[in-house]
Amino acid sequence: MKRTERFIMPLLAGVVILSLTSTACLAEKVVIAGSTTVLPIAQKTAEVFMDDNPSVDISVRGGGSSVGIAALIDGTCDIADASRAIKETEIQKAAANGKDPVAHIVAMDGIAVVVNKANPISKLSRKQVRDIFTGKVSDWSQLGGKPGKIVVVSRDTSSGTFEAFGELVMNKEKVLPGALMQASNQAVAQSVALTPSAIGYVGLGFMSGDIKALEIEGVSPSRETVISGEYAVTRPLFMYSNGKPEGAIKDYLEFVKSREGQRLVEEQGYVGLR
């Protein structure tokens, strides 16, 4: 009997290992890349989706909206996160590469203009913000604040948030050359939190007690003001698939837009579609 047990136990262990290995090999893989604004939504929804669907393996990375869309066009990701709409030039590149980007709106977001929490300034107009970011206004005393050179913190040019801010606030004017260009919303938030004279902009999901959102045209960025349209610096957030999604990609995108997925969107600090 003992000899039989010594033979059977390793055999069963081997079967279990082979079974687990086969399951891992058969897992349907989905790669998501792009916007750092959409990144928290993608990470959380992917985590919950995989818990409920162990046969699906989703990897999520950032890099910026332009990076994500380029990866979709190149075929190195399955879903591109973007905090801006795809450009006509990108659509043309996609078509030339045999790709067909399809937009899926997964949330709404307000771009909060933020300052250090010690800054006494609490409100600005869009023109004043534009004047700061173009360098026409360079000292807080010009806006009724304490004297001090304004440190401008911006997203880098591969960012969808940079593109949206350019459309909604800058009227396509260029950010001054001396601005600190950051690769993520989190980096902008940290820079502003650590620099008393700084100003920057982040998605609502990156607000914290270390920074202060300014009223723009007398309206604070919030879920309510984004939904009502009162807050002017508002944009949709996207996930792009190549053509009509199928299989695990379709199931995941449907989950993100479901009641449960939108609850997770709200938990991350964004504005859900429901």
Domains defined for the chain, CATH in brackets: 2-107+238-267 (3.40.190.10), 109-234 (3.40.190.10)
Residues of the chain with pLDDT under 50: 1-5, 7-24
CB contact at 8 A, 91 and 98: no
**What is d(CA 112, CA 234) in angstroms, rounded to the nearest whole number?**
9
Q: Look at residue 26 in the predicted model and tell me its pLDDT.
A: 63
What pLDDT, on the 0 to 100 scale, is given for residue 76?
A: 98
Rounded to two decimals, the pTM is: 0.84
Q: Give the integer Cα–Cα distance in Å for 141 and 38.
A: 35
d(CA 81, CA 147) in angstroms, rounded, equals 40
Q: Please tell me the predicted confidence (pLDDT) of residue 194.
A: 97
- 86's enclosing H/E stretch is none
**pLDDT number for residue 93:** 98
pLDDT of the residue at 274: 77
The answer to whether 185 touches 109, Cβ cutoff 8 Å, is no
